[in-house]
Structure 1
Amino acid sequence: MIQRIQSVWLLLAAIFAAITFSVPFYVGTPLSADIAPQLTAKSNMLLIVLTVLTGLTAFASIFLFENRKLQLKVAVAGLVLTLALLTDYILQLKYFTAGAFALSCVLHFGILGLYILAIRGIRKDQKLIKSLDRLR
């Protein structure tokens, strides 16, 4: 399980998703006093749900190493969830008048990159198994 490189990528994606609960994506001046000056994964319910689903999808995908087709589907679903999460973060920026992206927003894009690397690794494994089956 851990011998495959995509397991490492998926584990890192799950860890990055957990870290995003404590680090900001954007820091600025909110439009109203009800909004916190930092945009984190805990800012609203949709961000919480998408972040948890992104992390759980990455973590669950690690243990699907025996069924590569299902692992690939779950990893692609995680990639789509990550894109939805990033889209929601960008949409939340309209509630700020001024500010800047925090350096820790790189973690969110890192999750996206890690999912892509994991999907490439899973596909490479599938290709290898197909070529070995042809040799038999």
Structure 2
Amino acid sequence: MLQRIQTLYLLLASVVSGVLCIYLPYGMDQNGIELYALGENFLLSMFMGSAVLSLIAIFLFKNRKLQFVLGRINIILNFILLGVFVYWSLTVSGETKISEKGIGMLIPIISIVLLVMANKAIKKDENLVKSVDRLR
């Protein structure tokens, strides 16, 4: 049942985490050079991990509980990524790494919103199946 709405949300979260992180800069250094996730192995692995978790969750449509758990793990991963961005942007003492914030710092927030909406839809499906099972 890949035609459900949570599949669309998970696919969008995967595209946002996996593709947009490559093309949108997350900041600028003191020389005005844009910083991308491709230059940082940690950031790239976190973004790709989030994208892979979303793709795996799409194909677990028969096991909604595991799909829901993977969505929560993915949300936690994006919160950690958001925390790293906030830490880097707040410790800009002496223009060490990031001089200006970029639009790429919003990618985890967009991904979290999409994952929360997917988890709500998964929970709604699970409740619907439970209610139908009660009627039998």
The TM-score by the shorter chain falls in which range? 0.7 to 0.9
How many Å separate the matches in 2 of 1:91 and 1:107? 16
Number of positions where the alignment pairs a residue of Structure 1 with one of Structure 2: 131
Task: Answer yes or no: is the 8 Å Cα contact 1:47–1:89 preserved in 2.
Answer: no
Partner-residue secondary structure (3-state), 1:42: helix
CA deviation profile, 1:60-112 (whole Å, cap 9, x unmatched): 10000000011011111111111111111222223573744323433331111
Find 1:74's aligned residue among 56, 70, 87: 70
TM-score normalised by L of structure 2: 0.85
Structure 1 unaligned spans of 5+ = 31-35
Is 2:25 aligned against 1:27? no
> Residues 103, 49 of structure 1: CA spacing in aligned structure 2 closer, same or farther, 3 A cutoff?
closer
How many Å separate the matches in 1 of 2:53 and 2:34? 26
How many Å separate the matches in 2 of 1:28 and 1:88? 16
Aligned to 2:80: 84
Partner-residue secondary structure (3-state), 2:75: helix
Residues 1-136 of structure 1 aligned to structure 2 (within 5 Å): 1-18=1-18, 19-29=20-30, 37-93=33-89, 94-95=91-92, 97=95, 99-136=99-136
The letter for the 2-side match of 1:86 is L
Partner-residue secondary structure (3-state), 2:61: coil
Matched residues, percent identical? Answer: 28
CA deviation profile, 1:2-49 (whole Å, cap 9, x unmatched): 31100000000000012112211223427xxxxx83343224222111
Structure 2 unaligned spans of 5+ = none
Superposed CA RMSD: 2.1
> Residues 88, 105 of structure 1: CA spacing in aligned structure 2 closer, same or farther, 3 A cutoff?
closer
Q: Which has the higher helix share?
A: 2
Partner-residue secondary structure (3-state), 2:30: strand
